[in-house]
Amino acid sequence: MAVFISLHNGKTLRNLRNIIRYNTNDKKGINNKDNPRLIDVHSNVGGCESVLDTVEYQNLMDDFVLSIEANSKLSTNKRQKYIYEHSTISFEMEDDEKLGMKKATELALEVAKKANPNGAPQMLWPQIDTDKNKLHFHLVRGLHDDQGKYQKKSNDFHTMNNFLQKFEKKHNLVLTGKNTPDNWINKKVDGKYKRVYVPQGNNNNSKIAKNKDIDYKIKIDKKGNIKYFQSLKKKISDDRKQEKALYQQKNKVHTKRTNDISTLQNSISQLEQPVRYTLWQKYITNFAEVDIFERSEKLKEEKEQIHRINKSADVKENDIYKQIIKIEDAISSNLKKEKAVVAEIKDDKKGINENAKKDKLYNDFRDLTNNAYRSSKTAETFLKTLNDNDIEACITYRQNGQGGISFNDLNSGISMAGGKVNSYLTFGKIKKNDPDLFALLTGETGFGEITNKLSPSETPILNIEKLNKNYKQKINPDGSTSIFYNKKDSDKYPHNHNLKINAEKNKISFGQFSNDHDLKLAYRLARNENWSNAKSDNKDLIQRCMAVAYQENKDDLFFFSTNEPTLKMSELKEIIGDELLSKDNLIKLIDHNLIHKDDKKEALVFVKQQLKEHKEDLTVINSLLKDGHSLQKAIEVSELKNKEEQEKIKIEEKRKAANKISIPKVTKKIAPKNINKRHSGNRI
């Protein structure tokens, strides 16, 4: 696999130098001393024998920037804003292991040459990220050649894509895109199957819902850490440590004050004690007078010292206290911020979870639609699969004659453009590659229609809401009436009707979103319009309508039928199950020629079994059918015979009852039993 991705285009030399620094300096968490970001560099501006030689490397970068600047100034077209392009080139991991650094670099340079055919200044940096251990190449190239000619073209993407498809095969790389057989499917075009490229879905590239850190108030890194929240917590922790240190410092000042004052007070207490001097000390040597003076001075000095200690300690404690108050205010403020941040984080995580769920819904919706198209052999099958999942395919037209295709989920409200489901499900590509689907979406062909061969003389005014409140109707300029499910936007997507009945009220057409509810509505609509003979060439549609009609009214099993007899007995049994059909339905089955010619014998056997359960005389029926009479005539004769036999039985029963009444009853006299005298005697 070879992948070329254009990351961005730059307009200024400052941005160009930033990109050079980006590809030169180590990235925190991705590169380290064992795996530096700057491994090597390849350029068509000049050479650099060793990237470790910073002077030589910097000179090469300066030459590269100057070359791009000089070439861009040669351009005379002022509309060309960009001066460089930043791209990446990479291969599959399996290819990296097979190729190795040297061969992979050679192939990357070959890709770069294709992207830069006129030899504009370029730089190629091979790099390996530590977290992914994946080799890739960063390419920065100028967008003007040495003549000032602009290199970027509108079809560069397609040119590179086509080149890489051939490049994969040429160098035996892992195959992707059009080289992968699984990305090709068969589509029927003009009665012939055609190989069409429809790539498989890719969940790794969400094109719909954005889920970037910048969308949230709180910055969240790749590991899920909330940077601002973590720094706030660290600041609170540091402030608490500083607060604790200040309290300890205050306690030390207080302890020192207490100890120093206590020592001085003990000294003062001793100095204040009375001293007994001898007469010699008092009057002869004058020691007492000197001692009293010295003690008084020392006492005065120590009291002043206590005052100074208290004053100094008060100043220190007051300063510390002010710092503590300031720290406590900061902690209180940060705690409030932390509380607010916790609430914001909760909201952000909720938003992230909702976006993750939304991403999953979008990805599942896209994959369901894409896989339905890839696996469907016909356009009808594709749209039926969508209908079964409550998805409608919509088409809109623009003033220039072109249009757009979108897929809408009627339940969740998800709407996705066809190009976002798959790049090959756009208006133009469906028109080119799948004309059958395009014709169905644009209304050129329908999903089947039923007509009433016997048009009623009078039809009531159509009011669809009386038949089903979940539908709405819209009168078209030609007098026909389009019927839409309530949730559909009939103004924006006029082709997406569920049903459509013509102005004469003798033809009902079905839209792409035709489910059993629509068929039931069509049945009620036909009954409401006094239809008696609903016909169609669409066998599948008729069978679905038969099943719905049979559920609504057992006698209306054959209210819908095909123009030609196509019904198989297996299909009929699938509709009715093991239920006993009415005689009227059996008559329609045989006399109205509804069964396929290959199943007529089986149908006759089935009808006879059913009639046997209705207690009909099969001997009479078989005889009449053999003589060419209709089943209705045979059943009428059988019923008449059964009726006559029942009447005969009733007459015979009445006669027998009358005979029983006229014959007198004979009563028999019963002789008394002889009494055995021997046994009748008294026993002693």
Per DSSP, what are the bridge partners of residue 406?
394, 417
Whole-number pLDDT of residue 401: 66
CB 500 within 8 Å of CB 521: no
3-state secondary structure of 130: coil
Whole-number pLDDT of residue 215: 39
Residues 564, 542: Cα–Cα separation, whole Å: 12
Whole-number pLDDT of residue 109: 93
Closest CA to 450 of 531, 382, 379, 384: 531
Question: Rounded to whole angstroms, what are the CA distances from 636 to 357, 572, 600?
Answer: 67, 25, 21
Whole-number pLDDT of residue 19: 92
Q: What is the DSSP letter of 614?
A: T
Whole-number pLDDT of residue 224: 45
pTM over 0.75: no
Q: What is the 3-state secondary structure (H, E, C) of 408-476?
A: EECCCCCEEEHHHHCCCCCHHHHHHHCHHHHHHHHCCCCCCEEEECCCCCCCCCCCHHHHCCCEEEEEC
Q: What is the 3-state secondary structure (H, E, C) of 543-570?
A: HHHHHHHHHHCHHHCCCEEECCCCECHH
Residues 3, 107: Cα–Cα separation, whole Å: 12
Angle of helix 618-626 relative to helix 631-662, nearest 10 degrees, comes to 140
Per run of 10 residues, the mean pLDDT along the chain (length 684 residues) is: 86 92 82 81 88 90 92 85 91 87 91 89 86 84 90 79 88 84 75 74 39 40 52 84 89 88 84 77 73 82 86 88 90 85 72 73 87 84 84 79 82 85 85 83 77 66 84 88 84 80 86 79 87 85 89 89 89 89 88 88 88 84 84 84 81 78 56 51 42
**CB-hemisphere CA count at 13 Å for 249?**
15
Residues 187, 195: Cα–Cα separation, whole Å: 6
Whole-number pLDDT of residue 111: 92
Whole-number pLDDT of residue 216: 41
Whole-number pLDDT of residue 189: 66
Residues 114, 159: Cα–Cα separation, whole Å: 9
Q: Where are the domains of the chain?
A: 2-179, 227-373, 446-564, 579-655
- Assess if CATH 3.90.400.10 describes domain 2-179: no
Residues 665, 436: Cα–Cα separation, whole Å: 91
Residues 6+ apart with CB under 8 A from 484: 471, 472, 473, 474, 490, 496, 497, 498
Whole-number pLDDT of residue 197: 76
Residues 6+ apart with CB under 8 A from 160: 4, 114, 115
